[in-house]
Chain A
Amino acid sequence: MSQQTVLYEAEYELIKKICDRLVREANAKVVFLVDKNGQLIASSGETAHLDTTSLASLTAGNIAATGGIAKLINEKEFSQIFHEGERDNLHISIIGQRVILVVIFDQRSSLGLVRLRVRKASEELNQVFNVISQKAELPGASPFAEISDDDIDSLFSS
């Protein structure tokens, strides 16, 4: 139970830069990155009006369900999923089998452009996540090694 994802400032900055650039180069509205358990890692673009927490959870649920379907029909995984809407479209891809990259775009962009830009961003993100998982294996890499029972109880005092 002790494995956990730890995201440090340095890697976060790299991830954020890649997402920001993807928004620009793909002419996208929003880009966000979610781990497979539904936790939001980073987001870029017009996110102010978006409930990114819910989006993250539902995206992970979507990928989990699609992955379940893939297994049943003996596919390994659907590495890219595309949803077409009236105004906005959604492109979802899985990076290195561990994180989910979502791009929301409208008629200012196209599926072809998005796929092209996503491919490059995916490679870069994959490298960052390699570093992250290496760091996660180091011992003591958590601020929670030192929390006391009092710290925990204080959360519930109100």
Chain B
Amino acid sequence: MSFINYSSREINCKIVYYGPGLCGKTTNLQYVYNKTSPDAKGKMISLATETERTLFFDFLPLSLGEIRGFKTRFHLYTVPGQVFYDASRKLILKGVDGVVFVADSQIERMEANLESVENLRINLGEQGYDLDRVPYVVQYNKRDLPNAASLDHLRRELNPRGVPDFEATATTGVGVFDTLKMVAKLVLQELRRGSEAPTAAAPSMPPRRGPVG
């Protein structure tokens, strides 16, 4: 659920990176963090176990620039992938505006990928969201590994609906920003759609009240 603040002239949106354990969600955020200039990012927070497995979430606030005088900020979150952290995953999905599904391309992780997509669909459903309607991008990560499944195979299994998808190697950054830009774009487009006045029937309210700027 996006948050528009007329006073600070900011818009905040929430993007969640979802996927099975060890698929590379945290690595995606780390790469974005490392490649973003200091003035465009806040601190990256990782609530992790001693072995660097995500325990609750990673969080990275990013500013993308201005649209129509509003600063656009994206809050990126990752979820813990392991099956037993399901309760935490549900919490993190609250108020989400866009989802990136990070798949592990390794052929032996196919079942874990499928299980995770299914879990995403259920958990979104519990929040009243429909995976088929949420801004949604799929990333096939770990393309550099020799045991990676073919792109065709991954697409067939994980992206039957044909949403925007990208091949990636998060450790070196391949595909990381393409993925992020696409989901951000879909979120902004959704925002526009969601804020269109229904029709001529209802007069649209002038948004600006009181002194602005």
Contact = CB atoms under 8 A, between A and B. Distances in A.
Interface of A: 1-10, 12-13, 35-39, 41, 51, 53-54, 57-58, 61, 64-65, 67-68, 135, 138-147, 151-156, 158
Interface in B163-202: 181, 184-185, 188-198, 202
Contacts of A145: 192, 195-197, 204
B94 A35 contact: no
A136 to B, nearest CB: 9
B87 interface: yes
Interface of B: 1-7, 11-12, 14, 42-43, 45, 47, 56-57, 59, 61, 64-65, 67-70, 72, 75, 87-88, 90-92, 94-95, 97, 129, 133-135, 181, 184-185, 188-198, 202, 204-205, 207-212
B120 to A, nearest CB: 15
Nearest to A38: B75
Contacts of B190: 1-2
Contacts of B70: 143-144
B6 A12 contact: yes
A61 B57 contact: yes
Nearest to A65: B91
A5 B208 CA distance: 15
Given A6-B6, A12-B7, A153-B185, 5 more contacts: A35-B3, A36-B95, A53-B42, A61-B57, A147-B192
Nearest to A3: B1
Enumerate the 4 nearest inter-chain pairs by beta-carbon distance, A residue then B residue, closest first. Answer: A2-B194, A140-B204, A37-B95, A142-B195
B207 A12 contact: no
A51 B42 contact: yes
Contacts of A146: 68, 192
Contact of B67 (A36, A37, A155): A155
A139 B202 contact: yes
A118 B159 CA distance: 49
Contacts of B193: 2
Contacts of A35: 3, 95
B4 A4 contact: yes
Contacts of B209: 8-10
Contacts of A10: 209-210
